[in-house]
Structure 1
């Protein structure tokens, strides 16, 4: 990610107050992320301070709140690499490739946690549907011909059921998005 901004400012960047709130919320995660790459806690404070200054100076790059943590991690990673370059005399410093591997594994774990959160939200939202609607929305995933069978049982066309399924999916999507939004704030 380019930390220098020469182009126009994005139209929907987060406000200064939102930035401070987001930084406070994610500071521990950023601090732990830096610690993954640095050999001890001594450099973490310096790196996080430098990274926070860079984030503040480039906050206009952040277009929405959900992108804060990944964006912050990129900046912290670059600051860690800079700090490590200064420590190269120390034998305990890990190779940049190893650090990249550690960082990518942590990001994969974070994505996995996000997926679990989405799955829990979807299960909650599905649970709010009446049983018949829940069965209908799940029918396409049970196998070929399931929607057609349900349509015949209900005396409707498969196309009409697919339209209902589409509306139910949109409703579920809104419910999941709302749950995730509440989880973030």
Structure 2
């Protein structure tokens, strides 16, 4: 089988980055619709193939996760259709309802990540650096305290205050955005 995708090299790289960055989201989405982990892997692989074949249809700047999940949804339906002889009971309405709920959650988490990034950017450099150190792979309060010559309690308290500021910023920003969307 030969798959031809006519993208420019930079478009191909960008698409591959999007696809690989969202594998865990796609897996979780498919897993929420299929009970069997082995079937989830099969459907994920098929979804990746379809996404790659249809990569020219994706418009840069639009919501990749929403588009990819829609493709995954149809792959889940195809899986149920092709395996209806198994003992699983296939209910299109139930799968559709679950998919809709999950798409709404994903859209909400995408908005939350976008707003959190904006709020992080508003923090003073020192606070932003402290958050990055703490949540980097292997980052710990103990390591930061030792590096800065501060007590673990002092670093924990500083991180607590920064997280409070971030939470307030996110809540205010989301409330403002919802207010703008209502009017």
Cα separation, 1, equivalents of 2:66 and 2:38:
23
Cα separation, 2, equivalents of 1:73 and 1:88:
22
**RMSD across aligned C-alpha pairs, in angstroms?**
3.0
Q: TM-score, normalized by length of structure 1? A: 0.55
Cα separation, 2, equivalents of 1:85 and 1:105:
21
Query: Is the CA contact (8 Å cut-off) linking 2:66 and 2:107 kept in structure 1?
Result: no
Find the residue that maps to 2:85 and give its secondary structure: coil
Per-residue deviation at 1:82?
A: 0.6
Deviates more, 1:20-29 or 1:45-54: 45-54
Find the residue that maps to 1:69 and give its secondary structure: helix
Query: Is the CA contact (8 Å cut-off) linking 2:30 and 2:40 kept in structure 1?
Result: yes
Equivalent of 2:67, from 67, 71, 79?
71
The aligned residue for residue 80 of structure 1 is 76
Deviates more, 1:37-46 or 1:65-74: 65-74
Per-residue deviation at 1:34?
A: 1.1
Cα shift readout 1:138-161 (whole Å, capped 9, x = no counterpart): xxxxxxxxxxxxxxxxxxxxxxxx
**Residue 104 (structure 1) aligned with residue 100 (structure 2):** yes
Cα separation, 1, equivalents of 2:79 and 2:123:
49
Equivalent of 2:57, from 57, 61, 70?
61
Equivalent of 1:31, from 24, 27, 30?
27
Cα separation, 1, equivalents of 2:17 and 2:117:
24
Structure 1 portions without partners, runs of 5+: 1-8, 129-175, 177-185
Cα separation, 1, equivalents of 2:20 and 2:122:
33
1:52/1:122 CA distance change after superposition, 3 Å: closer
Per-residue deviation at 1:32?
A: 1.4
The aligned residue for residue 40 of structure 2 is 44
Q: TM-score, normalized by length of structure 2? A: 0.55
Deviates more, 1:116-125 or 1:81-90: 116-125
The aligned residue for residue 93 of structure 1 is 89
- Alignment size in residue pairs: 120
Cα separation, 2, equivalents of 1:86 and 1:32:
21
Cα separation, 2, equivalents of 1:16 and 1:123:
31
Query: Is the CA contact (8 Å cut-off) linking 2:43 and 2:72 kept in structure 1?
Result: yes
